[in-house]
Structure 1
Amino acid sequence: MQKTNGSSIDNGGVRVRHSATEQDIHVDNVQYESSTQNQPNSMKSTDVTKKIKKSPRTPSPLKYSCWSRHRTATAVGTFALFTILTMAAIQQYELKFIQTPQNPIEYNFGPRSVVVGNFDNDKLVDIVVANHVDDSISVYLGYNNGAFASNMIYSTGLYSAPYMVAIGDFNNDYHTDIAVAYYGTNSIGIFLGSGNCSFINKTVMSTGSSRPIWILIADLDNDTSLDIVTANYGTDSISIFYGSGDGTFSYTITYPMGYDSSPFSVIGADFNNDNYLDLAITNYGTNNIAILIGNGNRTFLYQQTFSTGINSHPYSLIVGHFNDDSLLDIAVANYGANNVGVFLGNINGIFTSQTTYSLNTSSPYSIGLGNFNRDNRVDLVVSNKGTNNIGVLLGLGNGSFSEPTMNPTGSSSSISLAAADFNKDNLLDVIIVSNDTGSVSILFGYDEGFQPQTTYSTGSWPQSVAVGDFNNDTRLDIVVASATGNIVSVLLGYGNGSFANQTTYSTGSWPQSVAVGDFNNDTRLDIVVANRVDNTVSVLLGYGNGSFANQTTYLTGNSPYSVAVGDFNNDIRVDIVVANYRNNTVSVLLG
């Protein structure tokens, strides 16, 4: 990757990920009361900023509806694999994403970074986008259905090439302000908000020749005024601008990251639980994360670096509680290694060795977090380059994550993301910046309620399925009728959603439908099958241990298509009813 000097921009080699303000609400042990600062994953968006201390904890669960379960069921299928969708015992939901039919925002301004906030105090989610080609930022006011009003454009100056945008209340007037990193002119622009989505008093602060590529907004010295940290790609350093609380900044200090480190992102959090914010920096060039421990007096102690792997080239990082141990953890998007790295927090700002999760051929740019499947555990989301998707890694609550689930975006270069509930359906959505299509797209979260499928082999052409406890172990088992094999398959359940391999039993010709019941009153479940071709039903009596006797057949009408059981004459014995497809009748067989 080649660094640039002067006003030219290496668009192929310099890329920016999501805003450092896209943190979990509890990341840095500081919450901004009634604020969108540092909480894009929150389900509400209001104005900013009164700073209060807050103890670290995981995000609160969202409210949701309960699902009921039935202990018997039948279904029809046409495949040689029997498919199970398992509902989690803790009412966990699988969150998937669906792209909006038409991008709500599309233009040729060269979008580079996106942040969510509330710029007009209406409690609806708005967004601001940095446009590095057009030398501007665009502000979009949100509606409550996921749509946005036309953009308001604010110039950032000729050749400024804005690469990063972040938000906060810099003058303590409870209105959201905007800070922008100008990569092209080596400076930071400040836009003070008026609370009605207009911005005034743009000021510019020089960063020397640093090529600022990332902005973090945080109160580093506990003086109730927000400060700014920049990652300087051009000078292998970070710079801190301490806020005065009136929209101005003073006392700039720079910390070197080492030769050829090429820092790309920086985030603030209290890693050693001393109530002072520390800093974590991704160094793209030297393949590591650097930790600076804050002293609370505007100085930082260089702690140590943690390797992200050879040629991993980490781009962006996020902080959260991944294992509920009161110590903050780090997740990093390793662009060069096509994986996500997780560092679990240890005492005194130390971290365990990295655990990686492969994204296969996807190269992650931006990383965020949220509770996407509503199980009160922190999940991760990454935007990927080259594979037209984003990846979601569901947290297991013990510091580990599931394998990534990919969701299509329609863009091969999604370089920035943020998460929020844009359409007010209590599901997190993801907004992404795609510089190859010149668009900003929203992927709306939708909720299917099931975990990924598990498949079990059966006979050929399975037609019908029923459930019951065939071996009296209080665990549900499965029976499947397979047409071309003239068999039923019994799969005994383990009680945890998994099943043993099938045991097969012969039936009549083309078993079309299956049901279960106790036909001989021995308190053991039996099986009945409607055989469509030879116009019979087969009854297989159960032994109560999961095995069954050979079939006994009974004549029905022409082409029995479906079978059900019940006590039709109130004699406390189970009867059978069959629907006969070809002669338009039903047959009742009394037990």
Structure 2
Amino acid sequence: MTSFFARMFRQGRPCHLRRAAAAVCAVLAMLPLSGCPLNEVAFGPLTNSDLRLFQSRLVYEVAGETTDAVVADFNRDGRPDVAAVNPDTKNVSVLIADDAGGFKAAVNYALLDAPSALHAADLNGDGAPDLVVTVEPLSHVAVLIAKGDGAFEAAVPVNLVSGSVPRGVAVADVTGDGRPDVVTADSGSDTVTVLAGLGGASFEAPVRVACWAGPRWVTAADVDGDGQPDIITANRDSDNLSLLMNTGAGLAGAVGLPCGTAPRMAAAGDLNGDGLPDLVVSNTGSADLSILLNQGGGAFAPELRQPLGQPPTRLVLGDFNRDGKTDLAALLFDAGTGGSLGVFAFFQGDGAWGFGAPKFFGGGWQPFGLVAADMNRDGMLDLVTADAGMKAVAVVRGRGNGGFETDQRFAVGNTPRAAVVDDFNGDGKADLVVANMDSNNLMLLTGDGAGGFTRQPAALPVFGKPRSLVSGDLNGDGKPDLVASILEQKALTVYLGTGNGLFILASPVTVLSPGSIYMSQVRSMALADLNGDGKLDLVTGNSNADTVSVMLGKGNGTFEPPNEMKAANYPIGLTLADINRDGKLDIVFISRNDPDQANDAAEPRVVRMLGNGDGTFDTASIQRYTTGAGPSDLAVGDYSGGGVPDAATVHTANDSIFRLDGSGDGKFKAGARLNVGESPVSVLLADLGGDGLADLITTHLDGYAVVRYSRGGGQFEAPRHFLAGDGATTSVLRDVNGDGVPDLIILNKGTSDVSVLLGKR
């Protein structure tokens, strides 16, 4: 997985392929697919590589699987630069800011063994920050002296006592001589080591001071206000903090401070505005935060806890919403697997000691390091993550209001499979209803009008697994209603909206003819006015029955009996569109083999059936078009240009899309295969660029979406990637913050949440 994600991002550009990877993909796209008679198509180059279609992280490649990063102005040009440690490649990557708001290609500096942590500080007084790096296996720190132009001298090893195993590092003038000293947290010897600085890479012999067991982190802060930095360590093995007060003649013996279990780090900051540094601790074992308010003189109030539900690792403090109060952001790990969730939580500080309810955002692919800094000098704090899974550092721009330019996450139920957007509570803001297949419910999330959502406590129960969901005004009261398909039910479930966020269970909708022995297994459906009477009608693809049904709406929330048509095998991906441009809606869907029937060898095809404009369809007009094996989703839109509808199908097993260009007479031309990356599961066609051409959006199981701009004539540009959650499945494109730009909502079954990526032009 690591190598795959490393290929996805081009150096110094937001979220798209490197040139070499693009060339590889182009070659792959031209290779023949076994058993497929369709043409192969390569992608064109990016016309504007800096364009971001959605507010997303800016990703910059480093040498290896980075685990920590720092931000400092290494070349003294006033712009923040980044350095990151790479344990697998045993080096440090330095990225210098360029003139375009990004970074130049990383320059790498070799170390003698695997690094774990780093700190930036001016050790020699020349105004350029130097680097101090812990090298655990060799029990030393590596010092890289800055040249002042962004480059560094070769690393100089400075030995600690053998067996120290330094895990954390801080720099402060502990000895009070005006020169910076290096302090390490030594997990191998349960000590703190002080290297008294002599200037540059020269230090006095190491001095050890005992602390508690298993220190993993060290920070320096003047906790008693005497002008001398004191030392705090987070001790994983003894489940506490060590406080070593600076007496002016050295560090006093360690005093234990309480925290949760398996603390990962401690950050110092003024939470309550009294001018004293308080402590916040991330506890990976107890999955919470410990808050220790400073009472002055080195004393702290009794510990306070902030539960999180998932283990926090790295955290940062800062005023992210510019209200003068200290806020907090923390990376989260999975309590079950111990792996990174790729999510960070943001907590707004209340100015006393507490924090508001967390907001969750996409944090990258296996992020381990987290830094807060104003990267673009706009007065708003941003975040920088060290992403091991992508071998990259990423900049997450802050919006200055507690929001960030990355996907915001909202928890839903288990296995979300369908979603609709509408104003369900009548406040003029877009809301979201999600069908959670393995929670057997529908969940309403009310929108705040700015792209945020609040999950409502009472979910709508359904009697089985909801698979498909549509919304519209079924009874003419001006309030959106819901229709849900339940895999175990023959009929569809209807909920009439009351306009205040509540719903009333209405009469079910029968989709199969009387006497049918099949379960309907509706996996896709569509609402539209098919006969021009101003009432919404319903069309379903009945996968188990191999039929398509049309139910004409009565305008009161009920429907006429179904007109069930034998159309093709296992219909899925059903959509309505005017394919022959006669002003009447036609039906387009996928016909394929039933994946649950081993002996079903039906050939995969796209099926088109013309509408008559009166709610009926001409079964004699059915045409079938060959597509690739195992199609799972279909979209219709004009990507070729000229107002002619085209179609695209997604094929998970073959990592591809099949393109069916419209011919203008209601038919499609022979298909063409496009390799789009690993495990695509859904496809959208929509005009994101405002040029009248439908662009291609695919969602991938590995946790990301890909946008390819249409260039007309059936040609698409190289991909732009946007991270979402694990097990990303279905996507919905709607404007949820009212700025006129479409936003992307992605359902993540692996993390049981939805990702919202706000559009950006």
TM range (shorter): 0.5 to 0.7
Aligned pair in 2 of structure 1 residues 102, 400: CA closer, same or farther (>3 Å)?
A: closer
Q: Distance in 2 between matches of 1:133 and 1:175?
A: 28
- Supply the distance in 2 between the matched residues of 1:263 and 1:422 (Cα, whole angstroms): 31
Residue 190 (structure 2) pairs with residue 236 (structure 1): yes
Matches within 5 A, 1:323-472: 323-360=272-309, 362-385=310-333, 386-411=340-365, 413-447=366-400
How many angstroms apart in 1 are the aligned matches of 2:116 and 2:210? 21
The 8 Å contact of residues 377 and 397 in structure 1, kept in 2 or not, is answered as yes
> Is the contact made by 1:271 and 1:345 (CA closer than 8 Å) also made in structure 2?
yes
Match of 2:236 in 1: 284
> 1:137 corresponds to which residue?
92
The alignment covers a number of residue pairs equal to 363
List aligned pairs for 1:67-106, cutoff 5 A: 101=56, 103-106=58-61
Q: 1:394 to 1:343 in 2, by over 3 A?
A: same
TM-aligned CA deviation for residue 367 of structure 1: 1.0
The match for 2:70 is 115
Contact map agreement 2:331 2:370 (CA 8 A) in 1: yes
Indicate the residue corresponding to 2:469 in structure 1: none
State the distance in 1 between where 2:321 and 2:100 align: 21
Could you tell me whether the CA contact under 8 Å between 2:57 and 2:397 is conserved in 1? no
TM-score with structure 1 setting the length:
0.57
CA distance in 1, matches of 2:154, 2:131: 11
Q: What amino acid is the match of 1:371?
A: D
- Letter of the 1:282 partner, please give it: A
The Cα of 1:136 is off from its aligned counterpart by 0.6
Q: For the Cα contact (< 8 Å) 2:331–2:363, is it kept in 1?
A: no
Is the Cα–Cα contact under 8 Å of residues 115 and 128 in structure 1 kept in the other structure?
Answer: yes
Contact 2:364 2:387 in 1 (8 A): no
Native 8 Å contact 1:104 1:147 kept in 2: no
Pick aligned residue for 1:308 from 248, 253, 259: 259
Q: Which amino acid aligns with 1:147?
A: G
Which letter maps to 2:143?
I
Change (3 A) 1:100 1:246: same
Aligned residue type for 2:285: G
Structure 1 residue 245: Cα displacement: 2.5
- 1:347 is displaced (CA, Å) by 2.9
Distance 1:300 1:226 in 2: 19
Paired amino acid for 2:85: A
Among 182, 186, 197, which residue is 2:150 paired with? 197
- Say whether residues 1:226 and 2:180 are aligned partners: yes
Contact 2:67-2:367 at 8 Å conserved across structures:
no
Following superposition, the deviation at residue 387 of structure 1 comes to 2.3
Once residues 394 and 195 of structure 2 are traced to their aligned partners in structure 1, the CA distance between those partners, rounded to angstroms, is 33
Contact 1:383 1:432 in 2 (8 A): no
Which residues of 2 match residues 203-222 of structure 1 at below 5 A? 203-207=156-160, 208-222=162-176
1:180 aligns with 2:133: yes
Aligned-partner SS, 1:184? helix
Q: In the superposition, relative to structure 1, how do residues 202 and 409 fare at CA in structure 2: closer, same or farther (>3 Å)?
A: closer
Read off the aligned partner of 1:438 and give its amino acid letter. Answer: K
Q: Which amino acid aligns with 1:377?
A: K
Cα distance in 2, alignment partners of residues 184 and 396 from structure 1: 42
Query: Using the alignment, how far apart are the partners of 1:200 and 1:184 within structure 2?
Result: 22
The 3-state SS of whatever aligns with 2:204 is: strand
SS for the counterpart of 1:317 is strand
Q: RCO greater where, 1 or 2, for CA within 8 Å and sep 6 or more? A: 1
| Structure 2 alignment gaps of length 5 or more | 1-52, 334-339, 402-449, 459-477, 482-498, 505-761
Following superposition, the deviation at residue 371 of structure 1 comes to 0.6
* 2:19 alignment partner in structure 1: none
- Give, in whole Å, the separation in 2 of the partners of 1:340 and 1:442: 25
The one-letter amino acid paired with 2:66 is P
Match of 1:150 among 102, 105, 109: 105
Whether contact under 8 Å (1:99, 1:444) holds in the other structure is no
Q: Which amino acid aligns with 1:337?
A: S
Spell out, residue by residue over 1:109-163, the C-alpha distance to the aligned partner (whole angstroms, 9 max, x if none). 1212100001111111100001111111010011365411101111012xx1011
Once the two structures are superposed, residues 416-456 of structure 1 have per-residue CA deviations (whole angstroms, 9 ceiling, x without a partner) of: 11011222332211111122333322211225689976989
Match of 2:222 among 257, 270, 277: 270
Name the counterpart of 1:542: none
Does the C-alpha gap of structure 1 residues 143 and 357 become closer, same or farther in structure 2, counting only changes over 3 Å? farther
Structure 1 unaligned runs (5+)? 1-97, 463-479, 486-591
Question: Using a 3 Å threshold, how does the CA distance of structure 1 residues 297 and 110 change in structure 2: closer, same or farther?
Answer: same
Contact kept, 8 Å, 2:116 with 2:134, in 1: the verdict is yes
SS of the residue 1:436 aligns to: helix
Cα 1:483–1:453, aligned 2, differ >3 Å: closer, same or farther?
closer
Name the aligned partner's letter for residue 235 of structure 2.
N
Q: Which moved more, 1:109-118 or 1:268-277?
A: 268-277
> RMSD of the TM alignment (CA)?
3.0
Shift of 1:348: 2.0
Is the contact made by 1:381 and 1:393 (CA closer than 8 Å) also made in structure 2?
yes
Query: Which stretches of structure 1, 4 residues or longer, exceed 3 Å deviation after superposition?
Result: 98-103, 143-146, 447-457, 459-462, 480-485
Cα deviation digits, residues 152-209 of structure 1 (max 9, x gap): 111012xx10111111111112222111101121111111111001112532111121
Q: Give me the whole-angstrom Cα distance separating, in 2, the residues matched to 1:99 and 1:178.
A: 35
**Aligned AA (2:278):** D
- Residues 48-67 of structure 1: matches in 2 within 5 Å? none
> What is aligned with 1:166?
119
Indicate the percent of aligned positions where both proteins have the same amino acid. 23
Are the structure 2 counterparts of residues 151 and 274 from structure 1 closer, same or farther at C-alpha, using a change threshold of 3 Å?
Answer: same
Residues 482/446 of structure 1: CA separation in 2 closer, same or farther (3 Å cut): closer
SS at match of 2:329: strand
